[in-house]
Amino acid sequence: GDASQNKVVRGWGKEKKFDFKPLTHIELCQNLDIIDFNRATKITGSNFILFKGWGAKLERALINFMLDLHTNKHGYTEIFPPFLVNRASMLGTGQLPKLEEDMYKLKDDDLFLIPTAEVPVTNIFRDEILDEDKLPIYYTAYTACFRREAGSYGKDTKGLFRVHEFDKVEMVKFVRPEDSYDELEKLVANAEEVLQLLELPYRVKMLATQDISFAAGKCYDLEAYASGSDKWLEVSSCSNFESFQARRANIRMRRKENKKVEFIHTLNGSGVALARTVAAIIENYQQEDGSVLLPKALQPYLNGQERIT
DSSP state of 194: H
Task: Output the pLDDT for position 56.
Answer: 98
Closest by Cα among 176, 171, 159 to 278: 159
DSSP codes of every residue in 55-87: HHHHHHHHHHHHHHIIIIIS-PEEE---SEEEH
Angle at 164 between CA 159 and CA 165, to 5 degrees: 95
Model confidence over 77-100: pLDDT tens digits?
Answer: 999 999 999 999 999 999 998 889
Q: How far is the C-alpha of 209 from the C-alpha of 216, rounded, in Å? A: 9
* Residue 99, pLDDT score: 87
- The reply to whether 162 belongs to the active site is yes
Q: 39 an active-site residue? A: no
All residues at 6 or more sequence positions from 126 whose CB lies less than 8 Å from its CB, including other chains: 88, 89, 92, 249, 250, 251
Q: With helix as H, strand as E and coil as C, how does 196-238 read?
A: HHCCCCEEEEECCHHHCCCCCCEEEEEEEEECCCCEEEEEEEE
pLDDT in tens, 210-263: 655 666 679 999 999 999 999 999 999 999 999 999 999 999 999 999 999 999
**All structural domains of the chain:** 3-299 (3.30.930.10)
Annotation says 147 is catalytic: yes
Q: In the chain, pLDDT over 70 holds for what percent of residues?
A: 93
The amino acid at 170? E
The pTM score is 0.93
CA distance 196 to 236: 13
Q: CB of 242 within 8 A of CB of 217?
A: yes
Select which of 89, 237, 239, 270 is catalytic. Answer: 237
Spot the catalytic one: 234, 243, 262, 291: 234
* Average pLDDT value for the chain: 94
35 vs 246: CA distance, rounded Å: 40
Does residue 139 register a pLDDT over 80?
A: yes
What confidence tier does 106 reach under pLDDT thresholds 50, 70, 90?
A: very high
What is the rounded distance in angstroms from the CA atom of residue 236 to the CA atom of residue 223? 7
Concerning whether 237 is annotated as a catalytic residue, the answer is yes
Cα 236–242–243 angle (5° rounding)? 130
Name the catalytic one among 59, 89, 162, 239. 162
Catalytic choice (59, 89, 118, 147): 147
For the stretch 160-216, pLDDT in tens is 878 999 999 999 999 999 999 999 999 999 999 999 999 999 999 998 766 556 666
**pLDDT for position 208:** 73
Q: Which of 16, 264, 223 is nearest to 136 (CA)?
A: 264
Residue 255: CB atoms within 10 A of its CB come to 13
* pLDDT at 181 (0 to 100): 96
How far apart, in whole angstroms, are the C-alpha atoms of residue 282 and residue 190?
22
Residue 274 has pLDDT above 70, yes or no: yes
CB 239 within 8 A of CB 226: no
CB 266 within 8 A of CB 162: no
Residue 150 has pLDDT above 60, yes or no: no
d(CA 239, CA 267): 6
- Residue 60 designated active-site: no
